[in-house]
Chains A and B, each alone.
Chain A
Amino acid sequence: MDSRSGSPRRHLSLVSGVGEALPSGSRNVAERDTVWAVTPADSLSDVMLRVAKGDEQAFADLYDAVAGLVHGISRRVVRDPAQAEEVTQEVMLEIWRKATRYSPAVGSVQAWVATIAHRRSVDRVRAAQAATDRDLVAGTTGSMAPSTPYDEVAETVDLHLETERVRQSLSKLTELQRESIVLAYYGGHTQSDVAALLGVPLGTVKTRMRDGLIRLRDALCVDLNAEGVRP
């Protein structure tokens, strides 16, 4: 499998500023950058503008659009249903409070919401983990068991176009890239934990996470193009 996702051309395009002149070889990547702003979730930025002005009806619409995403990630990371519900409610409240801080220039509403949801889920699980660890003999690995593999998701996950697209994109990664990302993102593990779980050096995990995310990004972009989302 091709693991040269950090090739000079691609890297150059990734570190180029928006609007900056790109080398001709990077033209397709520049188009992809445009595609990112056209993800379906982006239609939510208008809703967010109204939410930022305190529009409670707009927030109800936003809730209906993103609560599934928020709850999905909190269920996946936190696992305990009651705690996941708490996290979901906390995240939705935080979205309400911070709606004034959202800027479409920085990214899509979906990415912003997911960032908050994942951070809160991970904070919750690590705080709980720290409490559990203190009661365990050091070296016990039972609590460190890897999470459910990405392709064995709970049946409660809503079937979704994105589910299949992400599944396919993940399958294009190297095993180490995929495992690193899945253990960290869905399992809520730190990169040090991921390194220990996979039995590889920390530096390797860092590289695989970064390269894997870049490849995943490119793969998902390509799929967007293939589906004709972008004219």
Chain B
Amino acid sequence: MTTPHESADLHLNIGGYALDALDPADRAAFEAHLAACPSCRNELAGMAETTGLLAASQRVTPPARLRSNVLAAIAITPQLAPLTSSALEQPAIDASPDAVPPGSASGIAAAADAPGSAADAAPTTEHPASNVIAMTRRRAPTATRLLAAAAAVLALVAGGLGWRNATLSNNLQQAQVTAAEVTSVLTARDAKTTTTAVKGGGSAAIVSSASLDQAVLVADNMAPAPAGHVYQLWLISASGDARAAGFLDPNSVGQGAEVLAGSINQAKTVGVTIEPAGGSTSPTTNPIMAVPA
């Protein structure tokens, strides 16, 4: 079996990607590949038109009240800034969870959408995080704890115990993929660790590798999410677009790790919010943690 990082294997995942049939790690790997592969982008465009027709063949008229709900909602919902404008100049994201404007419907998005500019988000900046001043992070003091947590995670994953109770084969496969992803990020030569306290208790570290274009969230002693809620992970771009990057498995809050689905290099901020079970399409609560990507 080939590793997920081999190009041929990545290219073969194009069908699964077009059908949204990849697990988060494979999805992230393929998106990284896509960014550098014009032929895949070209092929994907045709597949997207095809799946668009698969969707169009299943039209079901929604209840009329949805229309009034949505039209009422858009009247008070701001639109994202276009990508082509000078909106690439973005404000510094204060990583302190308490810095988000209270009452904001969407803390992360609001913070990232705010006008103004302090940090240059140009892709040539190797470590955009270093430009951000208002940032609470600790590196060395928690390194040992982090490594211990990571080791525990790897042991858990390697044992395949309680990681994801899907079908047995899927479980094993997922565990192997996850373990490989986590290991590759944690051991990457350019791995960069940012640790932060988590609102509600415990701490978390984001370990990211620019060369792998991936990041892992390592949770340490976090409290379980409130009943009926989940910890949802977000990758927020320089332009303020919060992209869902998966969930922190409830079994992992005490000590565990999750690979963030999506490109870390395209993200400016990594955040976690508490969302209703099932997750949300964009953050609906203030983040319990947010750190520069």
- A residues whose Cβ falls under 8 Å from a Cβ of B: 14-18, 33, 36, 39, 41, 52, 54, 56, 59-60, 63-64, 67-73, 75-76, 83, 85, 88-94, 96-101, 106-108, 110-115, 117-120, 122-124, 127-131, 133-134, 136-139, 141, 144, 153-154, 156-158, 160, 162-163, 165-167, 180-181, 184-186, 188-194, 196, 202-203, 205-214, 216-217, 220
Contacts and interface: CB of A to CB of B under 8 A. Distances in A.
A192 B67 contact: no
A176 to B, nearest CB: 12
Given A69-B59, A206-B15, A196 B167 contact: yes
B263 to A, nearest CB: 15
A52 B279 contact: no
Interface stretch (B16-24, B150-158, B178-186, B206-214): B16-24
A138 B79 CA distance: 43
Interface string B54-84: 1111111111001101110111011111110
Contact of B16 (A15, A111, A188, A209): A209
Contacts of A118: 20, 51, 55
Interface stretch (B37-45, B88-96, B189-197): B37-45
Nearest to A117: B55
Given A89-B70, A190-B21, A184 B167 contact: no
Nearest to A81: B63
Contact of A59 (B74, B230, B250): B74
B280 interface: yes
B116 interface: no
A88 B51 contact: no
B168 A139 contact: yes
Given A85-B63, A90-B280, A191-B13, 9 more contacts: A69-B56, A73-B55, A75-B60, A138-B166, A154-B60, A165-B53, A186-B58, A194-B21, A217-B46
Interface residues of B, number: 73
A16 B226 CA distance: 51
A220 B53 contact: yes
Interface stretch (B130-138, B140-148, B169-177): B169-177
Contact of B47 (A75, A91, A213): A213
B12 A210 contact: yes
A68 B165 contact: no
A99 B79 contact: yes
Contacts of A217: 46-47, 49-50
Contacts of A202: 173
B244 interface: yes
A101 B82 contact: yes
Contacts of A167: 57
B278 interface: yes
B86 interface: no
Given A71-B62, A91-B281, A165 B48 contact: no
22 contacts: A69-B58, A69-B59, A76-B58, A93-B73, A97-B78, A100-B80, A108-B52, A114-B52, A123-B279, A127-B279, A129-B166, A139-B167, A160-B57, A162-B59, A185-B21, A191-B16, A191-B21, A203-B1, A206-B16, A207-B12, A213-B50, A217-B47
B282 interface: yes
A181 B53 CA distance: 13
Rank and list the top 3 A-B pairs by shortest CB-CB distance, nearest first.
A209-B15, A210-B15, A111-B52
Contact of B38 (A17, A36, A207): A17
Given A63-B70, A127-B278, A190 B79 contact: no
